[in-house]
Structure 1
Amino acid sequence: MSNISELLKEKKSVMLDELFLMRNSFAHTVENLFALSFLVHDGQASISTDETGSRFACKIVPRSITHRGAVRHQFILRYDYNDWKMMQTLVPEGAELTPNRE
């Protein structure tokens, strides 16, 4: 969770698929998505869509507005092994932001 939080602080806004994809591990990808969900739930990060509604951007939420006046929406993201395989073809190799773990 700290890796994702630090990346968001550094980059300010990133594409969701580039943030949590671990090209060589489906399990680590799911763990990254789970960690991000905690950051969003705690009000430390937000997820939004682009104009087409098809791509998600993620950014860190400044402490000054955390839990005060923030509009909360809930959505369900279905993600399985086939989605992971497809994401590997959509995200250019080397564009993954989360470092590989041993």
Structure 2
Amino acid sequence: MDYYGARTKNASGVVTLESSIMTVRSIITRQVTVPPITSDFTSYLAMPEITAQSFVCVTLPDPTNENAVLPSVFWSTGQLRVRRGAGLVLNVFILTYQ
């Protein structure tokens, strides 16, 4: 099944993903708990679902909590890196496109 119409924008309003011009092959949703930090205040999560053709979006599970802060999150093929977020629960959305 193909999904159409996904679009994301950054804080400046610039479109960062526009799937109406590309086919999204799959959408994977996971809820993860960030493991303890390693050196340099970073936690690493193995996520083999993230490929070179992926776009990753991370959110907090309760967007109404005004005191919760989303940590810095970076992704690369096969892994998610979270800075200063040990113990937090995060929603991870992985869109893979063609």
TM-score tier (shorter): under 0.3
Structure 1 or 2: more strand by fraction: 2
The structure whose Rg is larger is: 2
